[in-house]
Amino acid sequence: MVKPIGNKKYGLTIAILSCFIIGLFFVSFLIGRYSIHPRTVLDIILSNFIDIEAYWQDDLDLVVMQVRLPRIMLGILVGGALSVSGASYQTLFKNPMAAPDILGVSAGAGFGAALAMLWNSSWWQVQIFAFVFGLIAVTATYLIGSVFSRHEITVLILAGIVVSSFFQALLSIVKTLADTDTQLPSITFWLMGSLGKGTSESVLLMLPALGISLAVLFIFRHHIDALAAGEDVAATMGVNVQLMKTVTVCCSTLMTVSAVSICGIIGWVGMVVPHISRMLTGSSFPRLIVTSFLVGGSFLLIIDNVVRGVKGVELPLGVLTALVGTPVFVILLSRVKKGWS
Amino acid sequence: MLKVQGLSFSYHRDKEVLKDISFQLDRHDILCLLGPNGTGKTTMLRCLLSLNKIKRGSIEIDGVDLTKASARERAEMVAYVPQASEMAFPYESFEVVLMGRIAHLPTGGNPTARDKAIAYEVMERLGITHLIHKDFNRMSGGEKQMILVARALVQQSRILVMDEPTANLDYSNQVKILQVIRDLAEEGYAILMASHFPNHAFLACNKVALMRDGVIIAQGNPEDIVTTENLTRLYQTPVCVTEAVLKFTRSVTKVCVPVMV
C-alpha cells in the first residue's frame, strides 16, 4: 500500500510553526516602552469579545489595541506576504536568488508609491501606482533577462539590479522634488522600512489584496509547482503556462506592493525565508507557500520585536532584516549550493 | 492512433524547418526518429506536444485534432519524457512523479490517495520504489530518466513522446530504458522516440523514420530502412550496417558502426 509520503512530518512541522507564531503573537505584546503584565494584556484583548471589567488604565487599552495589536498583525502579514511572494518568484523563475527586492519589484513599487505621495494622493492611488510600477519593474527585469539568457540564474539577477538601480534613480528625483519640510521626511522614513505606521486601518486595507493573492496562489499551487520542472515540461503536463506565469507574477507583485506601500522597502525577507522553509518542508510549492507564510511572519515579527525592544533608538526595520538576512543567506548558499547548481 | 499529415513548421516565415512530414503511430508501435544534429527531430517532437505551433498539416489522435485541444486535454492524450535535467530546487522523486497527475486534479484540489496510489504503482512497476524519498537532483542519469518515465506514465495518456531517452546513459541503463519502452509498447502504448543511436532501432523499435534537413527521407521497418546506404546518406559519413553473431545465445543481431576512412 502507499506510504503517506512525508505527510506526517509536514503536518507536525506546520503544527509547531503555528503554535510558535501564536505564542510569539502574545509574547510580542509584552515588548515596548510600557511594561504591561501578561495577564492584563490577555484581559484587554479578551474584553473586546467578552465582558471583563476594566481594572486597567484607559491608556493601556490604547497601547495594546491601537498601537501594539496592529503593529504585530502587520509584522506577521508583511513578513508572510514578502516570503510567499519570494517563494512564488523563485519557483516561477526557477531561480533561488529571486525575491521581490532582487527583481526590482520593491524599487519599482517604492517609486510608484513615492510618486503618488508627491501628489498627495489618496491611499488607493498610492496602492495603484505602486502596483503598476512594481509590475513594470518585474516585467522589465524578466524581459531584459530573457533577451540575454533564459537559463542563467545570474542574468535575471543582474537584470534585477539594473532595473532596481533605474527605479532608485527615479526615486531620488522624486525625493529632490518633494517638499523638504513635509513630504521628504515621511518619504525617506517610509522607504527605510518600518512597521511603525501600522494602524488598524492599514492592516484592514492590506488584508483584501493579501487575502486574494494568497487564495489565488493557493488554488493554482500544483500548477505553479510544475513550473519548477521547466515551462515546456509543465505545458506537456497540462499546465496553461502563460496563464500561470501571469497569475503568479500579478499575485506576488500585488502582495509585495501592499506590503511596500505601508511599510516601505524591507529587503532580504523574501529571499531568505523561502530557503529556510524548503529546509523544513521541502521544495514542493503547495507546502512551501504555507511554510513560508508562517516562517516569514515569525521572522519579521521577531525582528520587529528587537526593533521595539531596543531602548532609546528606533532602528529601521529594513536595516535589521539586511543585517540578519545577509549572513543567513551566505550560510544557506554554502549549505545547499549542490542542490541548486 | 496518432496520424500526422503534411506537417510543416517554420520559426521564420521564409525558412521551413520541417517540410511536409507524414507518419502514423498505432498501439504497440515504437517509432524511432533518427537523424543528424540540428535536423529538426526535437522541433518535430515539440510540434507533437503543441509547444510549437504548426504551420500546415494536421496532427490527429483517434480522429481528434490535437492542435485544437486544451493543455489539459492534450496532457491526457500525449505524455512527454524530456532529457534528464535538474529541477530548480531539491524535490523528492515522489513529488516529481506525482506532478504527472496535474492534468487529472480538480482546480484547487490536492492529489488524492488514488493519485498517490497510481504514482506508487508506476514506480513499483519500473522497480524504482527505493528512490521514493531521494532528492531528484542528486540521482544518477539512469535513475533520473526512470523517474521521468514514471512521471509521464502517471499522466495515463496512451502516447509517449521521448527525446533521446538513452542520452548520457551507460550500456546497462540504456538497455534498462529500452526494455521498459518495449514492455510499455507490449501493453499498448504508442511510443515515439528521437535517438542518436541507430542500433536502438534494431534493439527496440518496430518502425523507424530517417530525418534530414526537416524532411523524412525514408520510413518503414528497421530491417528495410536502417541500411548502410541509407545511414551513410542520412549522416553524410560512412556508416556500416553489419551482422553480429552472439556466441552465448547463438543469435544474430544487426549493428551499425560509423567507419573512419
Q: Are B98 and B59 in contact (CB under 8 A)?
A: no
Q: Which residues of A touch B100 (CB under 8 A)?
A: 237
- Tell me which residues of chain B have a pLDDT lower than 70: none
Q: What is the pLDDT of residues A66-104, one digit of tens each?
A: 899 999 999 999 999 999 999 999 999 998 889 999 999
- DSSP string covering B144-200, please? HHHHHHHHHHHTT-SEEEEE-TTTT--HHHHHHHHHHHHHHHHHT-EEEEEES-HHH
B108: contact with A, CB 8 A cutoff: yes
Q: Given A94, A237, A240, which is nearest B99 (Cβ)?
A: A237
Residue A31 φ/ψ, nearest 5 degrees: -95, 135
Q: Averaged over A140-145, what is the pLDDT?
A: 94
User: What pLDDT does residue A6 have?
Assistant: 63
How many angstroms separate the CA atoms of B99 and A225, rounded?
8
B144: contact with A, CB 8 A cutoff: no
User: What pLDDT does residue A336 have?
Assistant: 57
A1 pLDDT tier (thresholds 50, 70, 90): very low
DSSP A67: I
Q: Which residues of B touch A96 (CB under 8 A)?
A: 88-89
Report CB contact under 8 Å: B95, A283.
yes
Determine if the pTM surpasses 0.90: yes
Distances (CA, A) of B70 to A107, B3, B76, B77, B182: 38, 18, 10, 11, 30
Report CB contact under 8 Å: B100, A278.
no
For residue A244, is pLDDT > 90?
yes
Q: What is the pLDDT of residues B41-72, one digit of tens each?
A: 999 999 999 999 999 999 999 999 999 999 99
User: What pLDDT does residue A3 have?
Assistant: 46
Q: Given B96, B103, B135, which is nearest A238 (Cβ)?
A: B103
Q: What is the pLDDT of residues A21-61, one digit of tens each?
A: 999 999 999 998 888 888 888 899 888 888 888 888 888 88
The cell for B204 is 527496440
Residue B224 distance to chain A (closest CA, Å): 33
Report CB contact under 8 Å: B89, A96.
yes
| CA angle at B195 for the pair B193 and B198, rounded to the nearest 5° | 115
User: What pLDDT does residue A335 have?
Assistant: 66
Report CB contact under 8 Å: B88, A235.
no
For residue A341, is pLDDT > 50?
no
How many angstroms separate the CA atoms of A285 and B48, rounded?
29
Q: Which residues of A touch B106 (CB under 8 A)?
A: none
User: What pLDDT does residue B239 have?
Assistant: 93
Q: Which residue of A has its CA nearest to B154?
A: A237
User: What pLDDT does residue A5 have?
Assistant: 52
User: What pLDDT does residue B194 have?
Assistant: 96
Report CB contact under 8 Å: A5, B82.
no
Residue B98 distance to chain A (closest CA, Å): 10
Q: What is the pLDDT of residues B85-118, one digit of tens each?
A: 888 889 999 999 999 999 999 989 999 999 999 9
B92: contact with A, CB 8 A cutoff: yes
Report CB contact under 8 Å: B102, A219.
no
Q: Given B95, B102, B138, which is nearest A284 (Cβ)?
A: B95
How many angstroms separate the CA atoms of A1 and A53, rounded?
58
